Structure 1
Amino acid sequence: MLTVADYIALAFFAILWLGYSWLLRGRTFFGRTSLTHAMTERRREWIYNSLRRDLKMIDTQIMAGLQNGTAFFASTSMFAIGSCFALLGATDKVNAIFADLPYVFSSGTASFELKVGGLTALFAYAFFKFGWSYRLFNYCSILFGSIPMVRDSETDIIAAERAAERVIRMNVIAGGHFNEGLRAIFLSIGYLGWFVNAYVFMATTAIIVVVLTRRQFFSEARLAIMDANPPSILHLSAIRRDMPPDGGSDLSGGL
């Protein structure tokens, strides 16, 4: 049902997926910290900043946003699974379309159904990751409620830090599962190349992994999180030099 090229392409897909996941488990790549690990530090800063706020509406809104985003992708994965089952019911029509397309290797109904089954498994994996992430973000919200108020934090700093660390750890774990589910969604785009032929499958998978690697280690988003933008600091210093000696704003004539 599958050719040798199909097996090679499938193995290539699995190796790139596992290799990219292993790469992100390490902290650096060519001396660069990944975007994911940089965001872990920002999560820590956020939770510790909340220790200095009695009114935590901002923090609860952030938690709600994380949960809503996870729920959206979980629902999307369910719709994708349903679409795959619908595609299995139209196997003959799809094979007839592929048979008329150039450079498409049509290997029969059984092969097509196996490919659709693999795509369904990808979306099912993503759904379980998003579902578990949603539940962990829910636990994180509960743990966040155990963070003491500012006055209590100042009284027992060690207990406050322990409560913050529990929230940070749960938040990081939930974010990790969310990232794994999102990675499966991204790689499913490369998987679609298999419906053309094995060589397109390998090419699209490689392109997706290269794009994801660039975003993790060489993107502008990473630079923004790493605070690698010294011109803004120089600009702030220039503004301070231009301020009046009394430290106020020169608004004479402006009102």
Structure 2
Amino acid sequence: MTTADYIALAFFACVWMGYSWLLKGRTFFGRTSLTHAMTERRREWIYNSLRRDLKMIDTQIMAGLQNGTAFFASTSIFAIGSCFALLGATEKVDAVFADLPFVFHGGHAAFEMKVGGLAALFGYAFFKFGWSYRLFNYCTILFGSIPMLRDAESDVIAAERAAERVIRMNVIAGSNFNEGLRAIFLSIGYLGWFINPYVFMMTTAIVIFVLTRRQFFSQARLAIMDAGPPSNLHLSPVRRDIPSSGGSDLPEGL
């Protein structure tokens, strides 16, 4: 480990924490982040479910969120196993790196420490995905407590309270999923450390640049923002959209 290695590792940690802090601020140069915009769409989706009795579409969406989280959790486990396999082949990898140009050869101990750090990254991602999967499971259970259309009409406050519980749980689960995915992305930048610390800093900066662009300047964000923000969904949407006659028909226009 050289001074450049310590500087590169500190740079990696700082930009990771800085990017996470930037997303918590929700805006960057006056632009709303893609993550925050999707949070509003989650709210819109859950409130829309109050307007229909048949909720098979919603349960399918929940299942899709869980399946995606389970896939990345499994992938993280395989990646951790690959890191341990790499530790068992230290001498072979060392011999390969010794013949490559521009690769800083720090010896067995440095290589094993770098592989251990990579395994720690994947371990962090696994715990985030695992927790997200469990929260999505809780979210499904909470979603089952949302009243049907007739009951929501008769007790609007209780229906909105049930919807808010689902929204909060869904947002927390999505946040943990995003943090796990961020660790997977940053592990790509971490691989630059196996070449030399300067490449490590460069690849980390490139990954952060790409992630920032996707959050604040991408076409995906533009597509969501063009749809327009939900209009006062927190102001008793059930009262506005559920007919007061008490029938089980859907409101007009839906």
TM-score if structure 1 supplies the norm length? 0.89
Instruction: Name the structure 1 match of 2:45.
Output: 46
Instruction: Name the structure 2 match of 1:138.
Output: 137
Distance, in Å, in 2 between the alignment partners of 1:97 and 1:218 is: 40
Instruction: Name the structure 1 match of 2:224.
Output: 225
Instruction: Name the structure 2 match of 1:79.
Output: 78
Distance, in Å, in 1 between the alignment partners of 2:52 and 2:115 is: 51
| TM superposition shift of 1:227 | 1.6
Instruction: Name the structure 2 match of 1:108.
Output: 107
Question: Once superposed, what is the RMSD of the aligned Cα atoms?
Answer: 0.8
Instruction: Name the structure 2 match of 1:122.
Output: 121
- Tell me the amino acid that sits aligned with residue 127 of structure 2: F
Determine if the alignment matches structure 1 residue 66 to structure 2 residue 65: yes
Computing the radius of gyration over CA atoms, which structure comes out larger, 1 or 2? 1
Where does 1:1-255 land on structure 2 (aligned, <5 Å)? 2-227=1-226
**Structure 1 residues 162 and 228: CA distance shift in structure 2, 3 A:** closer
Aligned residues: 228
- Tell me the amino acid that sits aligned with residue 64 of structure 2: G
- Tell me the amino acid that sits aligned with residue 112 of structure 1: F
- Tell me the amino acid that sits aligned with residue 120 of structure 1: A
Percent identical residues: 86
Q: Secondary structure at the match of 1:226?
A: helix
| TM superposition shift of 1:228 | 6.0
Q: Which runs of 5+ in 1 are unaligned?
A: 230-255
Q: Spell out, residue by residue over 1:68-127, the C-alpha distance to the aligned partner (whole angstroms, 9 max, x if none).
A: 000000000000000000000000000100010000000100000000000000000000
Q: Secondary structure at the match of 1:130?
A: helix
Q: Spell out, residue by residue over 1:133-152, the C-alpha distance to the aligned partner (whole angstroms, 9 max, x if none).
A: 00000000000000000000
| TM superposition shift of 1:41 | 0.2
Distance, in Å, in 2 between the alignment partners of 1:228 and 1:168 is: 20
